[in-house]
Amino acid sequence: MNDDRPELSDLTAFAAVATHKSFRKAADELRVSPSTLSHRMRMLESRMEVRLLNRTTRSVAVTEAGRALLARLQPVFRELDAALAEVTDLQSGPRGSVRINANVAGARLLLREVVPTFLRCHPKVQVDLVTEGRLVDIVAEGFDAGVRLEESVPQDMIAVRFGGSSRFVAVASPRYLKQYGPPRTPGDLEKHACIRYRMRSGRIYRWELERRGQSCSIDVDGPLTLDDEDLMAHAALDGLGIAFVSERGVLQAIKAGKLVVVLDEWCPRTSGLALYYSGHRQVPAGLRAFIEVLKQAERGRT
């Protein structure tokens, strides 16, 4: 064996620092002190005779050589983690818990199409599904995976699409539309009572509409502001105004004629939901089993 070859633990530590671009966050993940981690990186650079990281008092930047090394290491680590986990699974099978942070729409879809089959096939695994309106750092907050719109998934995560495409739609009750008429263009929304959505950050969501490459972001006005999509849909059902909500959540009401989509051509489809997880640490057996059930459900969909 080549004595000059860096130790696997040091390469793993480098990948964590390069991914987080922070010694503190990487140290938290690896459960070592930042000073210890910094010393290990200096020793690694000395051994390899190349600078991998540029450090300042406030930030860490990956050098060109560091980026090249990271790109080579990531698939190797994934294969190694998979091999080790496979051996463990052969011994005892998945057990423990799978913690998933999801938005409400994603959680509903998983509960309907994935979780029942997973629990039936893997009775030794518990599913801990947490719904929040904010994007969290799933690694820092102890989650195995997250679920969000694919476009919102952090770039350093591995994403698995599910549920097909989706879109947000502007909906109102027939009673409301009979009284006030439907908006014909996004500009007409100024004349209507719009049910606004307050995000967890406190900011009011701007309606994002698009038609044939023409897009607009509208700060709608209205007498009612809510922080829950279900409540917004119910308010629209009660004739209180126009709501802009996920089509999945109101599809049955639309089919039943209780809600009507307005500005339909301005409500484009998006890439939909994705379950995502870190590719820089060992994927737990329970999560890998969950992903497999998820993929099977998607194959059944198509």
**What is the secondary structure of 252-269 as a DSSP string?**
HHHHTTSSEEESGGG---
- Set out the domains of the chain in order of their start, with CATH numbers: 8-74 (1.10.10.10), 93-162+272-301 (3.40.190.10), 168-266 (3.40.190.290)
Question: Could you report the average pLDDT of every consecutive run of 10 residues in the chain (302 residues)?
Answer: 76 92 90 91 92 86 93 86 68 80 88 93 92 77 88 86 87 96 94 92 89 89 92 96 92 95 90 85 85 90 64
Token readout for 184 is: 């014909």
pLDDT at position 84 is 73
Interaxial angle between packed helices 104-113 and 247-255, expressed in degrees from 0 to 180 and rounded to the nearest 10:
70
**CB 140: neighbour CB atoms within 10 A?**
11
Burial class (CB in 10 A: 0-12, 13-18, 19+), 274: buried
pLDDT at position 1 is 47
Please tell me the pTM assigned to this model: 0.57
Q: Which residues contact 9 (CB under 8 A, 6 or more apart)?
A: none
